[in-house]
Amino acid sequence: MRGHPWQRLQLQWEGLIAINYAARAAGITRHMRVHEARALCPELQCVHVETIGGDELVDTKDRTKQKACLERYRKACIEILAVLHKAAPQAVIEKASIDEVYMDVTTMVERELRERAQADSCREAETGEGGAHDWEAGGSPVDAFSWGGIVLGGGPLDVGSEFERRLSIGANIACRLRGAVRDQLGFTCSAGIAANKLLAKVASAMNKPNQQTIVPPRAVDEMMRDLPLKKLRNFGGKLGAELAAMGCVTAGQVSALPHGQLTARFGEERAAGIARAVRGYSDEPVQVKELAKSMLAAKSFNATSAPAELDRWLRILADELSHRLTEDGLTHSRAPRTLSLSYRGSNGDRSKCCPAPRPTKEGYTVEALKEAGSILLRKCHDIYPCARLALQASLTTPDLLMWKPQDVASSESLNLNFVALLQASDFYTLPLSDDQGAISRFLTSATGDGGAALPEAPKPKKSGPQQPSIAQMFKRAAAKAPPQGPPPDQAPDAASAQPPAQEASPQSVGDRGASDGVPSNTPDAQAGSVRSPGQREAAQGNAAKSGEGGHTIPLAEGRQGSQDQPGSKSPLLQLPNSAGASLQRQSLQAANDVRSSRPASDAQCNIADRPDAEIAAAGQTELGRGATDTAGVRQPEQSQHPHTRDPGDAGPPGHPDADVAATPCQPPGGVVSSGPAGGAAGAQPECDLTSVDVDEQKRIMREIWLRGQGNAGRPGSGDVGGESASAPAVAGDRSAKRGRVGTAGSGNGAAAKESASKQMRISAMFKAPKKA
DNA sequence: ACGGGTGGAACG
DNA sequence: TCGTTCCAC
């Protein structure tokens, strides 16, 4: 609703689906009909969700002909994530929903703590005065208390408590983040700052429009006592109903239940989980999560038994899905694994699924998907009368990356986690633009051919000499961009000379949209603007050479003369986000998977609600990490009620407090490290694609991708270290950067093996989905 | 008139 | 491991 009168609400068909706070104050609620709402507020303006299908020229939203399209909100979500990444480069970010994120800002908090300590000791040395930081005077880089937020249990925060000092820094961060989102995108949000995700989420909802709430551990008991159970995540459904049947409406009431009653009803394990949750304890880690694992296009309609009707809807669903899938493939280098058709038929909701069809050289066409859907549909014998159809694809995880968890900077010393939940309820009331968006355009311009908007696919031609190498493609593209691109004669050959050091490009392609405060709505810019933490780190490490927005990846094809010589430079491509981004994102995911098996404390932010979303954050001490903590910070606070810990002395079975070997955190040499080794490993890019037109970048990425797909079916193609230009190397590990791409040759055997195996997985990714 | 998406657990 | 259903949000 940015820039629009508060009266505007969002409408879907006849019902209101997003109600801003001003309208709520007027008594308008969700699901109200327009005329009902207007009775309460005559000047009310409603905006319909964007739709696809039907006749686009007739502006009337027709439920019987069109389906809602949420693309705008997915894009906005990506924009928000990009802003958060930029504003909090070290944070672990978990996208919890389209308008919520959790952020673990532990490392940022600890860095701040270290800097303050350092400043203190400097001052002490200079002035001879005491070194204690003057928290209240705000002499720190960031004044701890100017942006705090609402402190539960009564403020201000206690500067005598280390934990509360951490919370205050977390609150500063949350506040800065909210400001960045608001300034750059126009969305307001709320936040909760607490010791774990559970508390942060609850807190973020406590003071709603555009505020943030801090939960010091001392306030938890009171906070939980009267908290309605439904406000607790996972307690809103059946579980909540069962507990209600046992006479419990608040979390406190459940806490007060006799021990045996819970276990009798739910069993030992589940009861323990419930008991912990209602007391505000949680050790669920914040996990790097930004990529959707599945995609769904669905439509409900009046029950019909006409096959042609279903066929028509199926086409519309396939159309939407095909474009989303193609876009996803291009930006994240992955493909759908399964395709499933869900329907509401005579026996209720059912589904059928099959391996996803492989993309043709047109990418994912409407036809391919629709055909697959039709086949599934024929297997549904109880489908008529049908009142709903949904086409869903599960996506492969691009496990391109095999970084060890310890390679990932953000996995270091987690003593305090923060989660930011970004909720933009106003999200759903974004004004419509004149531009209907890419998907609509596809539909209107090419009814029978959803691929019309895609560029002409190059003939895959068996890897003949006439097919330009990937390196050549990029080189040519770069050469075609004279204004910014390096002179053609300076773009070195893939196998020979080293390029001159790249100047840091002022801005990545992906940054352009958000950095100037003008939200960009083009798919290209959007896709490019997301950056994983890992990618950011890599970008920082190589900033001087690579340019901030690009990601350097080694080129797989062709022989590389000096592959195994230490310090030799492998030819590298400078890609704008896309493939490189997913690489590192995955590695972080892997790291987090590991981390989740040990005790981790978390904190969380919660950004919610448009005209004002909100951020919640939580902080807490981590248990189970000892002297190996790389930060060297020993937490004295464990007795101070870190809320990831169980109330009792002895943790219940499976409690994370159990001994867990601490994983020493090593800098990811060559990837994140900026030291000599890392610097050497970071070979110069062959050409800087950030200077190339975005469309051209996409076209190339698409070609690479399709090439890989095309090879998939051919036996023997796409092999590791092959000479063919089939599978592009998309790798970011150290050994690859040393030029060991695709070979299992000399040098460190293990490293070579690792590299080879990685290469294999990369190739596999470009092949057909399993069991195609 | 609870529509349109997501993610995850459980189960055969 | 796969296909399917159910659940929660």
Strand B footprint at Cβ < 7 Å?
A: A 12-13, 15, 17, 31, 67-70, 74, 97, 289, 291-300, 302, 320, 388
Distance B11 C1' – A246 CA (angstroms): 28
Distance C3 C1' – A431 CA (angstroms): 41
Chain A span 222-251 residues with beta carbon within 7 Å of strand C: 233-240
State yes or no: pLDDT of A183 exceeds 70.
Answer: yes
The highest-confidence range among A41-55, A503-517, A550-564, A659-673, by mean pLDDT, is: A41-55
**Nearest partner of A61 among A42, A78, A47, A40, judged by Cα:** A47
pLDDT digits (tens, 9 = 90+) for A748-767: 323 322 322 222 222 222 22
The highest-confidence range among A10-24, A184-198, A436-450, A548-562, by mean pLDDT, is: A184-198
Distance C3 C1' – A186 CA (angstroms): 44
Of the pLDDT bands very low, low, confident and very high (cuts 50, 70, 90), residue A56 is low
Residue A764's pLDDT is: 23
Distance C3 C1' – A395 CA (angstroms): 16
* Domain covering A1-49, topology: MutS, DNA mismatch repair protein, domain I (3.40.1170)
Q: In sequence order, what are the beta bridge partners of A101?
A: A95
Which bases of strand C sit closer than 7 A to a protein CB? 2-9
Q: Would you say A279 and A224 are in contact if contact means Cβ atoms under 8 Å apart?
A: yes
Residue A147's pLDDT is: 63
Chain A span 311-340 residues with beta carbon within 7 Å of strand C: 338, 340
Cis peptide before A523 (omega within 30 of 0): no
CATH of A294-396, one of 3.10.105.10, 3.30.1490.100, 1.10.3720.10, 3.40.50.2300: 3.30.1490.100
Of the pLDDT bands very low, low, confident and very high (cuts 50, 70, 90), residue A187 is confident
Residue A36's pLDDT is: 86
Of the pLDDT bands very low, low, confident and very high (cuts 50, 70, 90), residue A330 is confident
Of the pLDDT bands very low, low, confident and very high (cuts 50, 70, 90), residue A359 is confident
Residue A605's pLDDT is: 31
Alpha helices in A88-235 (DSSP H): 106-127, 162-185, 197-204, 220-225
Distance B8 C1' – A97 CA (angstroms): 14
The nucleotide whose C1' lies nearest the CA of A353 is: C3
State yes or no: pLDDT of A310 exceeds 90.
Answer: yes
* Inter-CA distances, A170 with A36, A84, A105, Å: 43, 14, 7
State yes or no: pLDDT of A606 exceeds 80.
Answer: no
Residue A289's pLDDT is: 87
State yes or no: pLDDT of A412 exceeds 60.
Answer: no
The highest-confidence range among A46-60, A215-229, A482-496, A509-523, by mean pLDDT, is: A215-229
The nucleotide whose C1' lies nearest the CA of A324 is: B5
Residue A521's pLDDT is: 27
In this complex, the answer to whether residue A119 has its CB under 7 A from any atom of chain C, a nucleic strand, is no
- Comparing A253 with A33, the larger pLDDT belongs to A253
Q: What is the DSSP string of A673-712?
A: --SHHHHHHSPPPSEEGGGS-HHHHHHHHHHHHHHHHHHH
Superfamily for the A77-287+417-423+597-621 domain = Reverse transcriptase/Diguanylate cyclase domain (3.30.70.270)
Distance B9 C1' – A343 CA (angstroms): 21
State yes or no: pLDDT of A64 exceeds 70.
Answer: yes
The highest-confidence range among A76-80, A420-424, A722-726, by mean pLDDT, is: A76-80
Which bases of strand B sit closer than 7 A to a protein CB? 1-8
The nucleotide whose C1' lies nearest the CA of A289 is: B7
Strands across the sheet with A687-688, in order? A550-554, A572-576, A687-688
**Nearest partner of A46 among A19, A67, A25, judged by Cα:** A19
State yes or no: pLDDT of A9 exceeds 90.
Answer: no
Distance B4 C1' – A70 CA (angstroms): 8
d(CA A427, CA A424): 5
Using the C1' atom of nucleotide C4, identify the protein residue whose alpha carbon is closest: A351
Averaged pLDDT for residues A423-443: 27
Q: Count the neighbouring beta carbons within 10 Å of the beta carbon of residue A551.
A: 33
Chain A span 352-411 residues with beta carbon within 7 Å of strand C: 352-355
State yes or no: pLDDT of A362 exceeds 60.
Answer: yes
pLDDT digits (tens, 9 = 90+) for A230-272: 899 999 888 998 999 999 999 999 999 998 999 998 988 889 9
Q: What is the DSSP string of A382-442?
A: T--SEEEEEEEEEE---TT----GGG-GGGS--S---EEEEB-GGGGGPPPPSS--HHHHH
Catalytic residue annotation of A: 100
Q: What is the 3-state secondary structure (H, E, C) of A205-231?
A: CCCCCCCEEECCHHHHHHHHHCCEHHH
d(CA A589, CA A286): 10
The highest-confidence range among A167-176, A649-658, A747-756, by mean pLDDT, is: A167-176
**Nearest partner of A531 among A704, A356, A291, judged by Cα:** A291
Distance C7 C1' – A174 CA (angstroms): 32
**Where exactly are the structural domains of chain A?**
1-49, 77-287+417-423+597-621, 294-396, 457-592+669-766
Cis peptide before A385 (omega within 30 of 0): yes
Of the pLDDT bands very low, low, confident and very high (cuts 50, 70, 90), residue A468 is very low
Chain A span 606-625 residues with beta carbon within 7 Å of strand C: none
The highest-confidence range among A134-148, A167-181, A422-436, by mean pLDDT, is: A167-181
Q: Would you say A381 and A565 are in contact if contact means Cβ atoms under 8 Å apart?
A: no
* Inter-CA distances, A110 with A43, A263, A623, A635, A721, Å: 50, 40, 16, 11, 43
In this complex, the answer to whether residue A154 has its CB under 7 A from any atom of chain C, a nucleic strand, is no
* Inter-CA distances, A310 with A317, A507, A611, Å: 10, 47, 39
d(CA A54, CA A448): 13
Helical axes A307-332 vs A694-712, angle rounded to 10°: 110
pLDDT digits (tens, 9 = 90+) for A258-269: 989 999 989 888
Using the C1' atom of nucleotide C5, identify the protein residue whose alpha carbon is closest: A350
Of the pLDDT bands very low, low, confident and very high (cuts 50, 70, 90), residue A507 is very low
Residue A8's pLDDT is: 56
Q: Give the rounded percent of residues in chain A with a pLDDT score beyond 90.
A: 25
Inter-residue long-range contacts of A496-499, CB under 8 Å, 24+ positions, other chains counted: A498/A569, A498/A683, A498/A684, A499/A684, A499/A685, A499/A686, A499/A687
Token pair belonging to A149: 């937020």
State yes or no: pLDDT of A514 exceeds 50.
Answer: no
Token pair belonging to A229: 């159970």
Q: Give the rounded percent of residues in chain A with a pLDDT score beyond 70.
A: 46
d(CA A152, CA A216): 7
Chain A span 58-97 residues with beta carbon within 7 Å of strand C: 97
**Per this entry, what is the length of chain A?**
772
Phi first, then psi: give them for residue A709, nearest 5 degrees.
-60, -45
Q: Would you say A449 and A368 are in contact if contact means Cβ atoms under 8 Å apart?
A: no
* Lowest pLDDT segment from A201-210, A220-229, A667-676: A667-676
